[in-house]
Amino acid sequence: MDEYLSYLARPADIGGRQAKNRLSTLPMEANDSEPDGSPSEITIERYRRLSAGGWGVVYVEALASCERGRCRPRQLMLSKRNLDSFKRLSDAIRAASDTPPFIIYQINHGGRYALRPLVSYHSEILDPTWDMPEGGATASTAELDEAADATAETVKLCASAGADAADLKCCHGYLAAELFRPSNNRDDKYGGSLENRLRFMDALISAGAEAARDDGLIFGSRISIQEKFPGGIGSSGPDGTAFDFSGVAPLLERLKAAGAAFVCETMGVPYYNPETTRPQAGRPGLETALAEHHGMAGWVKSFNPAFAVIGAGYTSLKAGCVERAAKNIIAGDVDIIGFGRQSFADPDTAVKLLSGDAARVKWCAACGKNNCSTLLRAKAPAGCVVHDRAYRAELKKIQRGK
């Protein structure tokens, strides 16, 4: 086996359990659930294919924690009522491979990006990024209490649903991330001081720690380490612009103290600065964006070497991803290499790469303005429009205005 590839083929430890190799899907919402949020046959088939595709980690997309936190009409939603349907999903993932992947469920509350927006505070930067009522009411303390309780309860369901791990999502501008941001100027217990801004995440971290103790659940968090706008996560204060470690370190400190096993690196708020979250092949500035992603992962790793760090920013490298990933692993900057759009483009990427069949990988074409995300924004089922005819047809429907 090629030397670089051999680094990706090695198992990785996540909280004492093993992922069979270093290749992970990244969570990719596809808006194809049953109306009640249960996985549909299409959802199950998507994940079955990823498992058969040889990934060491199958990272299940954002699962809404409650109806109020749902961002798309067919976003998956996990609750006590449909727990069995998620057990079937986990079973299907395991059954699709002789050496099953490590399974992570990502738990989310959509906040301002939910179908019925729950806006924590108004922001000149973010308010124009979504179709929400201008100057509308901000969430009451009781609404945030309810959202925190629902999300914490959903975290506690993950082990019974068959996941190895839960991701306490704190990224991309959704509720937990919005509240943690230094510019959150609410004047109740969810805003202002660091203590208050972390109250929502604290509830999720406590739930993760409880489920770890009672059910053996592993937990971690996907974090926008740097949002890249004034007062965003990773800035020094409400108006801070430059990246400042102190803007994100307190969250990592709490995760570490509670026994979290992994952190998945991401950046930005895709509704505001999409190319920060999804570096785009062929665009000027690509190398800078990649250096930032990979540098952020390295920073998290050096903050706590015991975290299994899942990195992003590899899809846009196409065939060059293997060498870059191996170099980052060798440098100790990352443990597991995550692929978002590439896992849509070719669910068999991992097995093809690891069997030395890179020539047959169908690479993400970084088409248009990322047509998979165009589908999602239009609330259509999302997938790869270049390599899968069904999603191409969905895109055409949108383009025809249907």
Ligand X SMILES: Cc1cc2nc3c(=O)[nH]c(=O)nc-3n(C[C@H](O)[C@H](O)[C@H](O)COP(=O)(O)O)c2cc1C
Cα–Cα–Cα angle for 228, 286, 108, rounded to 5 degrees:
45
Residue 138 gets which letter from DSSP? P
**Of the residues 307, 370, 371, 381, which one makes contact with ligand X according to CB under 6 A:** 370
Binding of residue 312 to ligand X (CB under 6 A)? yes
Nearer to ligand X, 73 or 237 (CB): 73
Smallest gap from Cβ 30 to ligand X, in A, equals 7
Smallest gap from Cβ 222 to ligand X, in A, equals 5
Cα–Cα distance measured from residue 371 to residue 269, given in angstroms and rounded to the nearest whole number: 17
Q: For 181-285, where are the alpha helices, taking DSSP H only?
A: 194-197, 199-215, 249-258, 274-277
CA 99 to chain centre: 24
Binding of residue 29 to ligand X (CB under 6 A)? yes
User: What are the distances in angstroms from CA 41 to CA 158, 159, 287, 363?
Assistant: 20, 22, 39, 26
Residue 276 gets which letter from DSSP? H
Task: Report the DSSP beta bridge partners of residue 237.
Answer: none
State the binding string over 108-147 for ligand X (x if CB under 6 A, else -).
----------------------------------------
> Contact 77/37 with Cβ under 8 angstroms?
yes
**Of the residues 341, 349, 350, 381, which one makes contact with ligand X according to CB under 6 A:** 341
Nearer to ligand X, 135 or 284 (CB): 284
Smallest gap from Cβ 44 to ligand X, in A, equals 17
Class of residue 16 by CB neighbours under 10 A (exposed 0-12, middle 13-18, buried 19+): exposed
Which residue in this structure is represented by tokens 């805003």?
191
Cα–Cα distance measured from residue 251 to residue 349, given in angstroms and rounded to the nearest whole number: 33
**Of the residues 224, 273, 342, 349, which one makes contact with ligand X according to CB under 6 A:** 342
State the binding string over 188-227 for ligand X (x if CB under 6 A, else -).
----------------------------------x-----
**Of the residues 61, 333, 346, 394, which one makes contact with ligand X according to CB under 6 A:** 61
> Contact 158/107 with Cβ under 8 angstroms?
yes
**Of the residues 110, 220, 340, 381, which one makes contact with ligand X according to CB under 6 A:** 340
Cα–Cα distance measured from residue 362 to residue 355, given in angstroms and rounded to the nearest whole number: 15
Task: Report the DSSP beta bridge partners of residue 23.
Answer: 337
List the structure tokens of 140: 């009451």
If one counts every other C-beta atom within 10 angstroms of the C-beta of residue 136, the result is 10
**Which of these segments, 36-44, 45-53, 96-104, 314-322, binds ligand X (CB under 6 A)?**
314-322
Smallest gap from Cβ 391 to ligand X, in A, equals 10
Binding of residue 171 to ligand X (CB under 6 A)? yes
Binding of residue 316 to ligand X (CB under 6 A)? yes
Class of residue 258 by CB neighbours under 10 A (exposed 0-12, middle 13-18, buried 19+): middle
> Contact 225/234 with Cβ under 8 angstroms?
yes
Binding of residue 165 to ligand X (CB under 6 A)? no
Binding of residue 334 to ligand X (CB under 6 A)? no
Q: Quick one: which H or E segment has residue 44?
A: helix 41-52
Binding of residue 371 to ligand X (CB under 6 A)? no
**Of the residues 82, 276, 349, 373, which one makes contact with ligand X according to CB under 6 A:** 373
**Of the residues 21, 90, 266, 328, which one makes contact with ligand X according to CB under 6 A:** 266
Cα–Cα distance measured from residue 24 to residue 73, given in angstroms and rounded to the nearest whole number: 27
Smallest gap from Cβ 62 to ligand X, in A, equals 3
Smallest gap from Cβ 60 to ligand X, in A, equals 9
Max intra-chain CA distance, the chain:
58
Cα–Cα distance measured from residue 27 to residue 61, given in angstroms and rounded to the nearest whole number: 4
Nearer to ligand X, 189 or 369 (CB): 369
**Of the residues 82, 154, 277, 371, which one makes contact with ligand X according to CB under 6 A:** 277
Nearer to ligand X, 29 or 164 (CB): 29
**Which of these segments, 137-145, 225-233, 311-319, 320-328, binds ligand X (CB under 6 A)?**
311-319
Binding of residue 293 to ligand X (CB under 6 A)? no
> Contact 217/165 with Cβ under 8 angstroms?
yes
Residues that bind ligand X (CB under 6 A): 26-29, 61-62, 106, 171-172, 222, 266, 277-278, 312-316, 339-342, 370, 372-373, 376, 382
